Structure 1
Amino acid sequence: MVTTMTNVDVLQQAYDFGEIVTSSEIFHKYIDAKRSLTVNNEAQLLIKEFTVIKEKYEEVQRFGKYHPDFSKVTKDVREMKRKVDTHPVVVDFKKTEDDLHQLLVEVSQIIANAVSSQIKVPTGNPFFDTATSCSGGCGSGGSCGCK
């Protein structure tokens, strides 16, 4: 591939834009929440316990309801996941992670729409993925507006 000044300019602008995102308040909140999660001993212990139970769960899933410990392990993994998901540090981390994800999705959509309205941007939300464009095979005979 031949590198032109246009390609170099686009790459430089992308790096500059990355620096803008990493200097944003949302990004700094995410980094702080991640650091808090990493240093919180209680949260880390819960995560380790959940990982152990999850491995047992995956082993039990191989046999499904026929495994002798199926009910117990399934219950244990749900309870442990609830404990992890409701821990305040984990809740804060997940919220900041979602905020950063939303920022990156919005930025991606703006960039894609600046190039063409036909470019699809995976948002992680099926409603928005299908609302902005049709992926084909909708079965509505074109009534959704796709071509």
Structure 2
Amino acid sequence: MSLDQIVLLEESLTLAEMVSNSSVAIAYRESKFILEQDEEAQKLIARFAKMKEQYDEVQRFGRYHPDFQTVSAEVRTLKRELDFHDKIAQFKKSEKELENLLMECSRIIADSVSQQIKVPTGNPFFDESSCSGGCGSGGSCGCA
């Protein structure tokens, strides 16, 4: 390993520590801890996970499954409950903010090397390389 590589690794660790100690990361860890301690939220998450398993099973057969309508409606209702639960919503918000910070760091690093380096944004509509092939557009999207 060269001296340049060692310096680069040390700088990477420094950046990682800075991100980890940022207000965004601290808020994420705090909201995660609060969410983990909330019994009501944990029960709701467990109910949703169980219902999601049923939903996945029903989806294999689609609308021909006898419980398709019932299970689909229940999953949507539970998802809505999850989305409107205060502690779950706060956790999701802080998680998204941390994700945005990490993506911005990745973008800055990539751009400092070359504008041609692609960094996934987590949103396929904005990713330059969102297509992994087989899209049927004849390669006009840039896929291989």
TM-score normalised by L of structure 1: 0.84
| Structure 2 partner of 1:124 | 122
| Structure 2 residue matching 1:117: 3-state secondary structure | coil
Whether 1:35 aligns to 2:33 is: yes
How far the C-alpha of 1:128 sits from its partner, in A, is 3.7
After superposition, the Cα gap between the structure-2 partners of 1:128 and 1:59, relative to the gap in structure 1 and judged at 3 Å, is: closer
| Structure 2 partner of 1:46 | 44
| Structure 2 partner of 1:105 | 103
Distance 2:78 2:125 in 1: 30
Distance 1:128 1:9 in 2: 33
| Structure 2 partner of 1:134 | none
Match among 79, 82, 91 for residue 80 of structure 2 = 82
Q: Can you list the C-alpha shifts for 1:106-127, whole angstroms capped at 9, x where unaligned?
A: 1111111111111111111345
| Unmatched 5+ stretches in structure 2 | 129-138
After superposition, the Cα gap between the structure-2 partners of 1:91 and 1:114, relative to the gap in structure 1 and judged at 3 Å, is: same
Distance 2:65 2:125 in 1: 38
Distance 1:9 1:84 in 2: 45
Counterpart of 2:140, as a letter, is C
| Unmatched 5+ stretches in structure 1 | 131-136, 140-147
| Structure 2 partner of 1:19 | 17
Counterpart of 1:138, as a letter, is S
Between stretches 56-65 and 21-30, larger displacement belongs to: 56-65
Cα RMSD over matched residues? 1.8
Deviant stretches of 4+, over 2 Å:
125-130
Q: Can you list the C-alpha shifts for 1:16-71, whole angstroms capped at 9, x where unaligned?
A: 11000011000000000110111111100000000111111111112111111111
| Structure 2 partner of 1:138 | 140
Q: Which protein has the larger Cα radius of gyration, Structure 1 or Structure 2?
A: 1
How far the C-alpha of 1:104 sits from its partner, in A, is 0.7
